[in-house]
Amino acid sequence: MSKIFLWIGVVALAVFVMKTQFLNSKTWQPFKEGCMAGGTATEAQCSCLSDYVHKHFSDNEVGMIMRQQLGDSVFVAKVEDVVRRGSQACADES
């Protein structure tokens, strides 16, 4: 019986480590803070937009967007479209 609890503990620890190290976004909060610095959106709208953008782009892509390293015109068009649609969706929620 104690081996079962030991295995459950090991699995729970592994899940915790994976979640804290690999599943948390490192760009979500900076993106939200950048949105808030614009001064035209509420905190709820910026949180919503950050969620929306992070659904469509990886952390690395969001980092590139924040550093304005957009690359080719296809990616620029995708970023503009996602931000426009996200802004509209988040404005409708408020």
Q: Would you say residue 43 lies in a domain? A: yes
Q: Largest Cα–Cα distance of the chain, in whole Å?
A: 60
pLDDT digits (tens, 9 = 90+) for 64-88: 888 888 888 898 999 899 989 998 9
Q: Would you say residue 56 lies in a domain? A: yes
Q: Would you say residue 88 lies in a domain? A: yes
- When pLDDT is averaged across residues 16-33 and rounded to a whole number, the result is 72
pLDDT the model gives residue 37: 87
Count of domains forming the chain: 1
Is residue 93 very low, low, confident or very high in pLDDT (cuts 50, 70, 90)? low
Flag whether pLDDT at 28 surpasses 80: yes
* Residue bearing the bigger pLDDT, 20 or 62: 62
Q: Would you say residue 5 lies in a domain? A: no
Q: Would you say residue 40 lies in a domain? A: yes
Q: Measured between alpha carbons, how far is 54 from 42 in angstroms, rounded to an integer?
A: 18
> The domain containing residue 39 runs over which residues?
26-93
Q: Would you say residue 21 lies in a domain? A: no
